[in-house]
Amino acid sequence: MEKSIIILCGGGPAPGINTVISSVAKVFLKDGYRVIGLHGGYKSLFADKPLMVELNFEISDKIMNLGGSFLKMSRYKPKDSEFKTDFFKENNVKLLVTIGGDDTASTANRISKYLAEHNVKIQNIHVPKTIDNDLPLAEGTPTFGYQTAKHEGVKIAATIYEDARTSGNWFIVSAMGREAGHLAFGIGASTHYPMIIIPEMFNKTKIAFDKIINLIISSILKRKILGIDYGAAIISEGVFHFLTNDEIKATNINFTYDEHGHPELGNISKAHIFNMLVQQKLKELGLNIKSRPVEMGYELRCCKPVAFDLMYCTLLGIGVKKLFDQGITACMVTSDPKGDISPLFLKDVADEHGKVKPRLIDINSQKANLIFKNNLHYITKADYEAAKKYVVNPEEYDFNKILNWE
């Protein structure tokens, strides 16, 4: 029977997925393999009728530089009880290629272990993907999709900033990021936003809504002192990861709730929440300043990949074949800045519970210090006297005091 490989995608989309699919398919087709694409991720893999598509050269070539994912994605995480060998035996599968985050990778390892226990031997190689840039790759190596998402985000953020200048308003922008602030930091630093707020900033104090709002007010006050009547703040939605349900409910924003009583944050713009709280605070202070919310999220995930990700994803796709030929399995494929391919094993980056720790921004790095100390606008002790024209207690809006960075 003809040997085959399977390609499936888990989680949410990121620019470059189609480039990976195309590159993997082409290099295996060249070597005589049948390439099976699976729609619906793991949900389809163990279904009675898996949603399969034969990936030939024509399809693979056509999708190479497209945004989105040719293979429908799913966040479905199968239980061990759902595993079965049928699909792998019937199609003579030799390799399972997964494209996704750490959950997708760990599930592939579970499947391979189950198959080995039932005398079905396959390799599994994972291609790490997320626009959040938070997987623990080597320093200086981004996750694929991040550079494109940042590029698209910078275009949007620059337009928003121009609108702020033109209209004399402020904009409160939120950007995706599960726990890490890479996307918000990259976009904000690239567009000279006067305030960037990411989870990593709160390394010496607890994240709280009042601190986030006071940081934005600090920037507004500093700009007023400088005679600038407009601006923008960008906030990583990852800050919500560190807030309790009670704190979120206390905002008095109308949420829908899931079956466990947790606020369904995906149903409301995070920028809207922050903007409402900023407006409430400005009114308390008697400052007549308009601000508008802008959510930067889904529009970054399916755009066409930029040149960096086209090349990077091509190398990762070909790298899958390189590792496969070496007999390597249960790993992530990585490509360093030189373009060299190497495996990264989950066991080397996971904790004792199998959880992969996210890669955070090093808040003490030279890059972070250069941006936070030189490129933002905020109140410090030197501004107290001038700030008293607008607030009676300027020390409450002191950037370093809020973050306990003194």
Which are the catalytic amino acids?
132
Helices (H), 226-378: 245-249, 270-285, 307-325, 366-374
Using CA atoms, how far residue 140 sits from 74, 135, 208, 238, 344, in Å, is: 29, 12, 30, 21, 15
Query: Vertex 202, ends 196 and 205: CA angle to 5°?
Result: 140
Which residue has tokens 């560190």? Answer: 242
Residues 6+ apart with CB under 8 A from 353: none
- The secondary structure of the chain in percent helix, strand, coil, rounded to multiples of 5, reads 45, 15, 40
Residues 6+ apart with CB under 8 A from 317: 19, 20, 21, 22, 23, 24, 26, 27, 127
CA distance 85 to 89: 6
Contact criterion met (CB below 8 Å) for 170 and 345: no
Partnered with residue 406 across adjacent β-strands are none
